[in-house]
Amino acid sequence: MFNLANKITLLRMLLVPIVVVLLYYEGRITCLVATAAFIVASLTDWADGYIARRENMVTSFGKFLDPLADKVLICSVLIMFVELNWIPAWVAIVIVCRELFITGLRAIAIDEGIVLAADKFGKAKTVLQIVAIVPLMVHYPLLGFDPQPLGKILLYIALALAVFSGFNYTYGFYRNGFGRQR
């Protein structure tokens, strides 16, 4: 259960409170350190999956923990951005609700013996959310460049992709005959 891939995923979970606390004590240096910790946490998402597949370490625990760690990381940061007044609350609400809905949908599918695997739109959504969060988290102008407008544009694109991919998962769920009365 606690193989290398799962330990890397747990590291991502452990980095979440560090990122949140650094953002809570918002300042130029803490934002840069929070950004570095967020980038490390985001890279662990790639690393744990790569190692799990390469070393044949895929476990049920890892299949559960990996997407949970992703959601906890992204949602925690977005909620902190709302607290700091860096993004509108409705943006975080839509993204968090989409994540909860799709997680529930996947749980129902698993109960039926089917895995609703991440599709290309869901993966693109995650990557775009991470890319959008980085300039938002840097927050302060860096080398004469204000990263906030870029981060907000990318976040709105990620939001649209989140909604689209949510509909895509839902369509796939019903296309496979789920949700019908039996």
Q: Which CATH architecture has domain 4-175?
A: Up-down Bundle (1.20)
> In the predicted model, is pLDDT for residue 116 greater than 90?
no
Tokens standing for residue 73: 């990381």
**Whole-number pLDDT of residue 180:** 54
Least confident of 21-30, 84-93, 107-116: 107-116
- Determine contact, residues 81/134, Cβ cutoff 8 Å: no
**Which tens digits make up the pLDDT trace of 58-73?**
887 888 888 899 999 9
- The pLDDT of 150-178, averaged and rounded, is 91
What's the Cα-to-Cα distance from 76 to each of 68, 110, 133, 149, 179, rounded to whole Å?
12, 26, 11, 21, 31
Mean pLDDT, rounded, of the chain: 91
Domain ranges of the chain: 4-175
**Whole-number pLDDT of residue 182:** 43
Q: Does the global pTM surpass 0.85?
A: yes
- Determine contact, residues 16/42, Cβ cutoff 8 Å: no
Please, which pLDDT band fits residue 141 given cuts at 50, 70 and 90? very high
Please, which pLDDT band fits residue 157 given cuts at 50, 70 and 90? very high
**Whole-number pLDDT of residue 36:** 98
- The pLDDT of 38-59, averaged and rounded, is 90
CA angle 22–136–64, rounded 5-degree value = 70
Least confident of 13-22, 38-47, 97-106, 111-120: 111-120
